[in-house]
Amino acid sequence: MLFKNSFSILSNRFSLVYKTLFYVLVICLIIAALGVAMFMPTLNKLIDSIKELQLIDNLGSYIKSILSGEVESSDFESIENLFVQIGQVFSENSSRLVLAGILLVILYFIAMFLISMCYYSVSDVVDSYMNSGSNFPFMANYVHNFKTSAKFALLYTLINIPLQIVFALIIVGVALLFSMVNYALSIFLVSLLCFCIYAINKSMFSLWIPAMASGNMTCTQALKYNFTALKDRFTSMFGAYFIYGILMAMLVVLSLFVTFGVGTLVLLAASLVFVRIVNLVSYYHINGLKYYKADNVVIDNSRKFSPAVYTADEADVAEHYHLPSDKPEQEGGAKEESKEEVAAEQTSAANENGADITDKKTN
């Protein structure tokens, strides 16, 4: 139900995928330009120093000697000396490398901040569609909610970067530990661990933006609500994202071979939007709210065990959620009868008022 309804919303708002893809590509170009400006001096210095060692030529001759079976002890010594010289080059440029590492962290922070800036706007556009069936433009929403998006992106980035460092250290530790036992087992466990970490990361903050966009909470209030609401639902969200992570990995690999990477870009942008939709659908279900899953098709979550799906009538839209009321639409005959009954009641009331006025005049 969660993925089915989310996919229905995605298909009805698929134009949002292309807008998100354009935004992400622009951000990637900005990050690439910053990266070139930051790292080119250091890279040029290292490349010039390594060129003097004739690294490619020496490695090429060593590989040829291995393939031909004519490896001698002098070859081992030359390769060993070569790597010692490379180590000396890096030690001589240690200050540059430390600076490059700091710049890399800063660049990663900027990249995560700018990409996560679109999360709130995407969610708010989707929430408008789910709440009232409206189709608001992405860029107008992005400009209008720029301050809110920046607050969320900054806090989200500050929380996620330390988490990702911890997750990366865990993955490297598991890989090194089990590679001593068996390489195949190490690859399997690292892959499984990556999917688990992905599911944990996505589940931990799944209700944060929905509480802001739909619940009108502030950034910190929504974060507190997110952790509170997930106490009893984290397992189900983890399972959903674990399955989704495996499916997405399979689709990404398939798209790389079939479309030579072109379809992969669209797929990743669609995944970014789809995750936001899944979070909003979860929020609506948890709070028992109605929402549009397609044009004029509404999911009624007020029925806890069997949510009703029915067609929305614009004439019967509720004031608060801009959605149809719980009562099903009456038949035409019933409507006519109700109108006749109202007219009869009004006529009888008028006759009674006329009779009262006559009695007063007589008295």
Give the other-Cβ count within 10 Å of 157's Cβ: 19
Closest by Cα among 139, 116, 140, 129 to 10: 129
Whether 182 and 209 have beta carbons less than 8 Å apart is answered as no
**Identity of the amino acid at 304:** K
Q: Which residue has the higher pLDDT, 76 or 335?
A: 76
pLDDT value at residue 127: 94
The percentage of residues in the chain with a pLDDT greater than 90, rounded to a whole number, is 48
| 242-252 confidence digits (pLDDT tens) | 999 999 999 99
CA distances from 220 to 113, 208, 224, 270 (A): 17, 9, 6, 28
* Burial of 304 (C-beta count, 10 Å sphere; 0-12/13-18/19+): exposed
Q: Rounded to whole angstroms, how far apart are CA atoms 45 and 159? A: 35
Residue 129 CB partners (closer than 8 Å, separation 6+): 9, 12, 13, 135, 136, 292
**The token pair that represents 309 in the structure block:** 């799906």
The structural domains of the chain, with segments of one domain joined by +, span: 2-284
Average pLDDT of the segment spanning 156-179: 92
Q: Is the pLDDT of residue 283 over 80?
A: yes
Whether 32 and 281 have beta carbons less than 8 Å apart is answered as no
Average pLDDT of the segment spanning 344-357: 52
pLDDT value at residue 305: 43
Closest by Cα among 283, 228, 226, 275 to 248: 275
Alpha helices in the chain (DSSP H): 2-12, 15-51, 55-68, 73-92, 94-132, 138-144, 146-179, 183-204, 208-213, 219-229, 234-258, 262-286, 332-362
Question: If you write DSSP's letter for every residue of 95-116 in order, what string do you get?
Answer: HHHHHHHHHHHHHHHHHHHHHH
Closest by Cα among 25, 8, 13, 2 to 268: 25
Q: Give pTM, 2 decimals.
A: 0.75
Q: Is the pLDDT of residue 71 over 70?
A: no
